[in-house]
Amino acid sequence: MAIKHLNQLIEIAKKRSKNKPKKRVVVAYAHDDNSIMSVQEAYEIGLTEATLVGDEKIIKQACKKNKIDCKKFKIIHEPDELKSGKKAVELIRKKKADILMKGLISSDNYIKCIIDKKKGLMKPNAVLAHVAIFEIPTYHKLLIISDAAFIPLPTIQQKIAITNYLVYTAHNLGIKRPKVAILSFTEKSNPLIDSSADAAIIAKMGDRGQIKDADIDGPLAIDVAIDPDSVQVKGIKSNVAGDADCLVFPQLEASNIFYKTLTKLVHAEAASYIAGTIAPVMLSSRGDSEKTKLYSIAVGCLIATDRNK
């Protein structure tokens, strides 16, 4: 059964890991209240165990401030920001942790640790992309989008990889055959517009089973991808239009603006992770809520369980 609300992620993750060791989260530069509180909650509900890497004094002060027993966590003292990120990644590589989570470390340093060719977490020749799952008050189901963080102008090869990541994510949410919209500024095909041509090719790949277990259509404008009324008015025939589970954006600017609009204006709840790595990697903003980080941990648990089958 498909997950319809983000809070269901927690119970599904617990169910899949039943009778197995708890997943282990390691937080890089764990100096912020939200990260510590989210791993505390994940621990309390029986979802994960946690290792906090950073300045031990600051971590203990944050725990005390939030009335958290720091003895619940393993604390590794590394006060240097970049080194704390490298240490956290090292724990993943040595299989002493299952999920990497961003604390107060800067995004630049965090990514630097992840993409290190010798000591990082990237899969060989993989495309690194940010995948976000939204629960939106005005939409009838969860919506999965990419890429809002890494690739300014994705090539068609990168868009194909992103499409596969979204399909994979949807399957982990119980959506057996997700509907994927490859976006452009209009639903009318135009070979002179890269986003339109790319979308048409990827949609045809879906038709021929080159991207499996998904219904894919494109190019689609954002209105017809998610709004049934727009589909009816424009007379579009599509098994994706008006009911998309996944959105592949033509460029980072569009996806990032959409992401922030959902969180700031629509007050959508979110969970996210980085795809293309050997283990689940959480990339949350320093401004993200404790709830967003908890939901992201739950997604990480789902993916970690799936990869360990």
The per-residue DSSP string of 31-77 comes to: -SHHHHHHHHHHHHTTSEEEEEEE-HHHHHHHHHHTT--GGGSEEEE
* Confidence check: pLDDT of 233 > 90: yes
* Closest by Cα among 287, 284, 309, 213 to 299: 284
Please report which confidence band the pLDDT of residue 237 belongs to, taking 50, 70 and 90 as the band edges: very high
Give the ranges where 139-276 is alpha helix by DSSP (H). Answer: 156-172, 194-207, 222-226, 228-234, 252-264
Q: What is the pLDDT of residue 65?
A: 93
Share of the chain above pLDDT 70, in %: 97
Asked if 182 and 163 touch (Cβ cutoff 8 Å), the reply is: yes
Q: What is the pLDDT of residue 308?
A: 59
CA 303, distance to chain mean position in Å, is 10
Q: What is the pLDDT of residue 287?
A: 64
DSSP state of 247: E
Q: If phi over 0 gives left and psi between -120 and 50 gives alpha, with beta otherwise, what is residue 98?
A: alpha
Q: What is the pLDDT of residue 17?
A: 75
pLDDT (tens digit per residue) in 239-281: 999 999 999 999 999 999 999 999 999 999 999 999 999 999 9
Average pLDDT rounded to a whole number, residues 98-119: 94
Q: What is the pLDDT of residue 6?
A: 94
Look at 8-17, 66-75, 76-85 and tell me which has the smallest mean pLDDT: 8-17
Mean pLDDT (the chain) is 93
Q: What is the pLDDT of residue 214?
A: 98
How far is CA 210 from each of CA 17, 98, 207, 235, 309, rounded to the nearest angstrom? Answer: 31, 31, 8, 28, 24
Question: Number of helices and strands (H, E) in the chain?
Answer: 11, 11
Q: Which CATH number fits domain 129-264: 3.50.50.60, 3.40.718.10, 3.40.50.1000, 3.40.190.10?
A: 3.40.718.10
259-263, long-range: CB < 8 A, 24+ apart: 259/132, 259/145, 259/148, 262/134, 262/136
Report which of residues 88 and 292 the model is more confident about: 88
Q: What is the pLDDT of residue 309?
A: 55
Average pLDDT rounded to a whole number, residues 129-146: 96
Average pLDDT rounded to a whole number, residues 186-205: 96
* Confidence check: pLDDT of 286 > 70: no
Q: What is the largest CA-CA distance in the chain?
A: 62
Q: Is the dihedral of CA 214, 268, 148, 181 positive or negative?
A: positive
**Alpha carbon distance 53, 61 (integer Å):** 14
**Alpha carbon distance 141, 133 (integer Å):** 10
* Closest by Cα among 132, 221, 238 to 183: 221
Average pLDDT rounded to a whole number, residues 210-224: 97
* Closest by Cα among 169, 191, 195, 179 to 251: 195
Look at 188-192, 202-206, 242-246, 301-305 and tell me which has the smallest mean pLDDT: 301-305
* Confidence check: pLDDT of 288 > 80: no
What CATH code is assigned to 8-122+277-307? Answer: 3.40.50.10950
Listed by start position, the domains of the chain span 8-122+277-307, 129-264
Single-letter amino acid code for the residue at 292: T
**Alpha carbon distance 67, 63 (integer Å):** 6
Q: What is the pLDDT of residue 2?
A: 80
